[in-house]
Amino acid sequence: MAFQSELEVFRKFLKNQGMRYTPEREAIIKEIFSIHDHFDVDGLYISMRRKGLRVSKASIYRLIPLLIEANLIAEVFFDKGQTYYEHIYGHEHHCHLRCKECKKIEEFSDPRLKDLEKELSERFGYKILTHKLQVIGICSKCQAKEDSA
């Protein structure tokens, strides 16, 4: 099966659900898939406005659950009232190492988590869908700052 673009995948998803493909949805998806980083609704809205793309925040809020349902994006973490997302379509699954002080993020993946998923599935009888591992620490720069303080 040939690789399908995010837009194609989403069009099919919408059709399946009896939902409609609109210019607003297209604009938001294009914007999301042009940002190759973690993003939040407010940042997305602001960057769209700056480009003259006028969609309401309500439409963004309404679209996000659909993109999650369609496995195009996923929630990565929630910090201080902000929910952050990232693309997952076409990306290897990965986890996040975050600096508690400066909020810097490192991404990593580890095959042991797949093994663990398998074991949990057998042990508890769950069908495993995904996992989210956040490791929290202090980066080298922030450690240096702390030591000199």
Residues forming the site for DNA (CB under 7 A): 14-15, 18-25, 40-42, 54-59, 61-63, 81-83
Contact yes or no for 117/78 (Cβ under 8 A): no
Q: Write out the binding residues for Zn ion, residues 58-97 only, by CB under 5 A.
A: 86
Give the nearer residue to DNA in terms of CB position, either 40 or 101. 40
Give the nearer residue to DNA in terms of CB position, either 47 or 83. 83
* Backbone dihedral angles phi then psi of residue 55, each to the nearest 5 degrees: -130, 150
* Interacting span for Zn ion (CB under 5 A) from 23-31, 40-48, 99-107, 122-130: 99-107
Beta bridge partners of 53: none
Helices 6-16 & 23-34 angle (0-180, nearest 10) = 140
* Identified binder of Zn ion from the candidate list 99, 113, 116, 117, rule CB under 5 A: 99
Q: Which amino acid, 71?
A: N
